[in-house]
Amino acid sequence: MEILGYTASVIIGISLGLIGGGGSILTVPVLVYLFGIEPVLATAYSLFIVGVTSLVGALPKYRQGLVELKTTVVFGIPSIAAVFVTRKFLVPRIPQYLFSISNFEITKPVFIMAMFAFFMTFASYSMIKKEKNENEGQQPQRFNYPMIVLEGTFVGALTGLVGAGGGFLIVPALVVFSRLPMKMAVGTSLLIIAAKSLIGFTGDLGHSTIDWEMLLFITITAIGGIFIGNALNKKIHGESLKKWFGWFVLGMGIFIIIKEITR
């Protein structure tokens, strides 16, 4: 199962390199079902893995001039604050037992995985639907500050709960509320994801026992996948794969729901 887990980690990195997002949504299911890590701890590990791999992915985008630093700060500050508060104070205070429906008990791990499955269905829709014309973002940049702060806070809180990057929410927000071109929105999103995920991870350091050897090995494996994805990106059109990957993510979301109900 660990061999499958490391193979899946490479695939996560490849998907990030090919389509600029989406792969992080698989990190928690890989950690839970292939590495056998408890769901709440898996969301913490996922923040570190997603944060480091997104940072590595953002560096070449920055060198290409596809990262807008002002937007990163404006969107990133409320998002970083929200994810840190969620991991440091909210997640540890979620009770181990929540409620029961008939004979089915809703525990903290079940709740986390159910939230994640719900998150995956929205991510899959974002990948399956047809994208708007990239040139629609080619307008003078302006900031809708109230909406940016609101969206950043929402994405940060959601990231804190489920441990995924939320790029499928960030990219459209940057295009609509900051008027960024699509390619620049993707690059800027990677830097925002890296910052909020890594800072959010620090909120877990006082609550969780981290297996650093395993965590670093999985992260390095995913980073290797990013370089493979970047190389393939020159030969394979990422958008043609994005739709099929979206259907795969949807199937994974349904699998998680069934798995948790029948556990």
Domain count, the chain: 1
Residue 184 is predicted with a pLDDT of 83
Q: What is the pLDDT of residues 146-205, one digit of tens each?
A: 887 888 888 888 888 876 767 767 877 787 777 788 778 878 888 888 888 898 888 888
Query: Token match 């650093």: residue?
Result: 212
Cβ(16)–Cβ(54) below 8 Å: yes
The pLDDT of residue 132 is above 70: no
Q: What is the phi-psi region of residue 133: left when phi exceeds 0, alpha when psi lies from -120 to 50, beta otherwise?
A: beta
Output Rg (C-alpha) for the chain, integer angstroms: 18
Largest CA distance in the chain: 57
Residue 168 is predicted with a pLDDT of 67
Q: What is the distance between the alpha carbons of residues 86 and 100, in angstroms, rounded to a whole number? A: 24
199-216 average pLDDT score: 87
Cβ(78)–Cβ(149) below 8 Å: yes
Residue 141 is predicted with a pLDDT of 62
What's the Cα-to-Cα distance from 159 to each of 75, 116, 199, 251, rounded to whole Å?
Answer: 14, 10, 11, 21
The pLDDT of residue 51 is above 60: yes
Where are any strands of DSSP class E within 84-220? 97-101, 104-107
117-144 average pLDDT score: 66
Task: Tell me the H-state helices in the chain.
Answer: 2-19, 27-29, 39-63, 69-85, 108-128, 145-162, 167-177, 182-202, 212-233, 238-262
> Which residues have CB under 8 Å from 248's CB, separation 6+?
none
Residue 20 is predicted with a pLDDT of 59
- Decide which of 101 and 93 is more confident: 93
The pLDDT of residue 32 is above 80: yes
Q: What is the pTM of this model?
A: 0.78
- Decide which of 188 and 104 is more confident: 188
Q: What is the distance between the alpha carbons of residues 8 and 207, in angstroms, rounded to a whole number? A: 27
Distance from the Cα of residue 9 to its chain's centroid: 14
Q: What's the mean per-residue pLDDT of the chain?
A: 81
Domain extent for 83: 2-262
Q: How confident is the model at residue 233 (pLDDT cuts 50, 70, 90)?
A: low
Q: How confident is the model at residue 234 (pLDDT cuts 50, 70, 90)?
A: low
Q: What is the distance between the alpha carbons of residues 114 and 248, in angstroms, rounded to a whole number? A: 17
Q: What is the distance between the alpha carbons of residues 177 and 75, in angstroms, rounded to a whole number? A: 10
